[in-house]
Chain A
């Protein structure tokens, strides 16, 4: 006789973990993400949720899902590799910034000061994971009638999607035009604005397969702490010595 044991949704567990950490009971904060490739179904919901949460413009993506196909017919398999920023312990993107516009914060997240960034794109080339993208100033409303017909200083945010601006780093960045974050390097920041408000990152909550986990690596009770101890754990390009804070369960 088998019985089905009630299993708590990992989101509930992680929400409890997050609350504990924010209350100062989980030890020093070191945010990490764990992605279970065996559970990822490649639905790209995390990519879309991230783009929506951060009001990402065209051509800027924080969390693409790479599809890998192996073998030849009929012995073919596929697997998916969501790729957020690795929030490396030793991030190669940070020391190359010539104007101190990016750094690793106390919680282990690599952040950018959009108002300092000069847009040299050195950090884009320095990241071995391609996790930084440049905001070239495009908007989903480009090409719509309201956007045409102005030679200089055309109104970048007239209606619809473009009116919703990036909430990153606890600041509303205003209408898209020439001002930051246009012209800047941009990247995943583990939805710090949500986390600080007690919410899990949008890629975590949107994951229909519950394949993405988030929490404080220093909290001995945290779900991510248990997962990072799994023998299935690997990190991308470990030989580079960047020590990513994103772990994959293979």
Chain B
């Protein structure tokens, strides 16, 4: 218990330090919009979008648990309901902060309400994002009040909303049919699989970290393993069909993803740490290995998002366009600025703070198990 308390203190200290150090990144984004970023017009989506999509994936912890308990009838996992609901609220808050500060004019976000265009997948993303946050905030309240019937109803409602939410985020990319790698119907499926994988992994690790029963951890680990395999196969299909079809831009974009500087991120962080290490650890079958495998997956999930979002933008929409008018904002490359890294540190620290303070702020959601307590 003492070890646990001192670890919590270290984590709390790390989270506070991260918030302090990263605050300038958020302040700069709030004051100057995208001016301080390393973004350009040909690579306009960068670390902010990667960060948003990463935390978005983590928020699928709620969907994973809802499927396990409601669709597959494994009611013993209900004891993770509070943890999962808190995870959704915390990670959605982080995702929302990441994407809001990535806008050129964050102060106009009210426009999503006063002049929405429902032909845009992004408008639907806003709708489902908000719906998910409200549903899980209400579920947190219901669980704290002990109203299990209401919590169950909210869980049922959350399932289709969550599928629409994660699918819509993939749909944003999938509808860009002219864009190499992004366009196509497999992308929304990839996003749902990725979200369930990452969200499930985070929930599994947290279940172990907060001392829930080993059987729950290993059982959840099997579900994560299944989603990991589905994700890896879907991603492999995306790459293989792209190469086999032979479209020049798609091949060039895939080369950019798999080679060069981005290749290190793809092969070492994404495939190595994010797929192979979890595959090995998750198949061992014990709770500790499962938890560490899930942690590896969680930590490397950002690399999966980076590989998907960044490198495919390095292909010009018209060949020679990047040479027609030379400026660093019109380049086919991207390196995040210090401000973007600091904002990332802030958002990640906010997430960490949420899980460190969670047991103190809302202890009713964090029922400890017997094995590790």
Contacts and interface: CB of A to CB of B under 8 A. Distances in A.
Nearest to B40: A59
A178 interface: yes
Q: Is the interface of A mostly helix, strand, loop or mixed?
A: loop
A97 interface: yes
B40 A182 contact: no
A55 interface: no
Interface in A58-92: 58-61, 64-68, 81, 83, 92
A112 interface: no
A178 B32 contact: yes
Nearest to B106: A118
B33 A182 contact: yes
Nearest to B320: A66
A179 B45 CA distance: 21
Q: Which residue among A64, A117, A128 has the maximum number of chain B CB atoms within 10 Å of its CB?
A: A64
A59 B328 CA distance: 7
A163 B316 CA distance: 33
Nearest to A156: B35
B41 A134 contact: yes
A118 B318 contact: no
A128 B104 CA distance: 21
Interface string B20-45: 00000000000111110101111011
Interface stretch (B6-14, B62-70, B119-127, B260-268): B119-127
Interface in B304-334: 313, 316-321, 323-325, 327-330
Contact of B39 (A68, A116, A134): A134
A26 interface: no
B144 to A, nearest CB: 34
Contact of B318 (A59, A92, A236): A236
Interface stretch (A31-39, A119-127, A223-231): A119-127
Interface string A79-116: 00101000000001001111111000000000000001
A206 interface: no
B138 interface: no
A124 B35 CA distance: 17
A121 B328 CA distance: 17
B116 A118 contact: no
B117 interface: yes
Interface of B: 31-35, 37, 39-42, 44-45, 103-106, 108-109, 111-112, 115-117, 119-123, 125-126, 172, 175-179, 313, 316-321, 323-325, 327-330
